[in-house]
Chains A and B, each alone.
Chain A
Amino acid sequence: MSRVRAAALLLATVIVAAWWLTEPRPMSADELPDHAADATAGERIFWAGGCASCHATPVDGKRAKDENKLLLGGGLELDTPYGIFRVPNISSNKEDGIGDWTMIQFVNAMQRGVSPGRQHYYPSFPYTSYAKIPATDIMDLKAYLDTLSSMPGQVADHALEFPWTLRRGIGAWKRRYLDTEPVIRFETASPPIEQGRELVEGAGHCGECHTERDSFGGLVTDRWLAGAPNPEGRGRIPNITPAGKNISEWSASDIAYYLESGFTPEYDTVGGTMVAVQENMARLTKADRDAIASYLKSIPPLENQAVE
């Protein structure tokens, strides 16, 4: 009898602990900084963050180009080992998009991965990087998104494989991988390097592709930006630390020029998934691109991983 009671108690404890461990942890509205959101400043975060690369509605089955990048009705499908992720509508439409979200709902989505209905988002939406953006920038971004066109039409749900259908489990994952702290701490960093850090670690979410992941899909920060297998094709995503095979030969101005024009110092052009990234970076100011280059020249140099 007492054994049964002990087992029941243990089970209850495990359930309570699991519930607590996986609980969504949004911020409350009074944690928001006192800041008047500025749409012009938000446009910078929009391009740095690559929002359009996923959320712009595809045109004739291809990723949107030019002014179509501002039509954020979603609908792109990401075919992954976990199943198919369908990118949602984030246009200013009040029913189908995010036009009626409050500021705190938007900040929680971007920086805590929690929806207005208190559900976890899947980390295919790179909120683990966006968590490192200054909150004031996120507020500016919302002001900018509010100025863009309203697009009707909801996107169907993701079609994932079990057990990835259990969103609640993401809560435990976040406890391990979601934090707002810088990845690289410089003892003394010039303002451009700090500006570059915010852009690379935060909005630019460069680490999401350029850093290896562990078996739980979290970034291995000891191998920060040292390259990773290419999830969408052949070869590897390159090492962009100062010791990276190709980039070690590039000057800071070569890096900045590449982000602006798409040309490498050898006058080859940007390829693959980096094309869309480069086109977004081209919309930033020269000062921002120079800041990204300064940061990339300042982070710990890591040798390329021996390719299996």
Chain B
Amino acid sequence: MSYPARILITFIAVIIGGVAAATADDDPRHERHELMEDVGKAAKPVGKMLKGEAEYDLDVLMTSLQTFQNVSTKFGDLFPPGTETGMDTEAAPAIWEDREGFEQALADWREAIDAAITAKPINLEDAKPVAGAVFKTCKGCHDTYRLADD
């Protein structure tokens, strides 16, 4: 193949690849966003119970904790190099600059979730400290590893 043709093909491949990456559902930037949306949706009914706006229900709490647990085990793998920016990601550069700290924040989250699942709190009073600890890890991680909202 001639040199200019090779350049042209490479160029086209890069464009196609770029467009595919920017739109694909399985792009980690898309996936991690969706997972966080799931976490938010699962947190909502728990928050209502903690605030006393909804009747306490252990099943509701456990279902939400299960969602958190599922997300927390795969979330850390969704920040490969090359996904620092683009697709409106709110991931902060700190994730790549301080990977260890980020992994630790995720470990703290998993630990709090596991503790709440093990506790199986039968009433609101028992649920408050363990569920509150899980919520605290959300904020703890976001403060450092997520960009501010627009």
Interface flag for B139 (CB, 8 Å): yes
Task: Assess the A272–B148 pair: CB atoms within 8 A.
Answer: yes
Interface flag for A305 (CB, 8 Å): no
Task: Assess the A235–B139 pair: CB atoms within 8 A.
Answer: no
How many positions in chain B have a CB within 8 Å of any CB in the partner chain?
A: 17
A273 to B143, CA, bound (A): 10
Given the contacts A257-B51, A263-B135, A268 and B143 also touching, CB distance less than 8 Å: no
Task: Assess the A271–B51 pair: CB atoms within 8 A.
Answer: no
Task: Assess the A274–B148 pair: CB atoms within 8 A.
Answer: yes
Task: Assess the A233–B44 pair: CB atoms within 8 A.
Answer: no
- Which residues from 249 to 279 on chain A have a C-beta closer than 8 Å to any C-beta of chain B? 253, 257, 261-263, 265-275
- Which residues from 129 to 150 on chain B have a C-beta closer than 8 Å to any C-beta of chain A? 135, 138-139, 142-143, 146-150
Q: Which residue of A lies closest to B46 (CB)?
A: A267
Given the contacts A257-B51, A263-B47, A269 and B150 also touching, CB distance less than 8 Å: no
Task: Assess the B147–A271 pair: CB atoms within 8 A.
Answer: yes
Chain B residues with Cβ under 8 A from A234's Cβ?
A: 147-148, 150
A234 to B85, CA, bound (A): 14
Instruction: Please count the residue pairs between chain A and chain B whose beta carbons lie under 8 angstroms apart in the complex.
Output: 47
Highest count of chain A CB atoms <10 Å: which of B41, B44, B138, B143:
B143
Could you say which of A235, A263, A265, A267 contacts B148, with CB atoms under 8 Å apart? A235
Task: Assess the B148–A268 pair: CB atoms within 8 A.
Answer: no
Interface flag for B124 (CB, 8 Å): no
Interface flag for B40 (CB, 8 Å): yes
Task: Assess the A269–B139 pair: CB atoms within 8 A.
Answer: yes
A267 to B41, CA, bound (A): 8
Task: Assess the B135–A268 pair: CB atoms within 8 A.
Answer: no
Task: Assess the B142–A267 pair: CB atoms within 8 A.
Answer: no
Chain A residues with Cβ under 8 A from B150's Cβ?
A: 234-236
Q: How distant is B31 from chain A, measured CB to nearest CB, in Å?
A: 18
Could you say which of A235, A257, A267 contacts B43, with CB atoms under 8 Å apart? A267
A284 to B57, CA, bound (A): 30
| Interface of A toward B, CB cutoff 8 Å | 233-236, 238, 253, 257, 261-263, 265-275
Q: Supply 18 A–B pairs (Cβ within 8 Å), ascending by A.
A: A234-B150, A235-B148, A236-B150, A261-B135, A262-B139, A263-B43, A263-B47, A267-B39, A267-B44, A268-B40, A268-B149, A269-B143, A270-B139, A271-B146, A271-B147, A271-B149, A272-B147, A272-B148
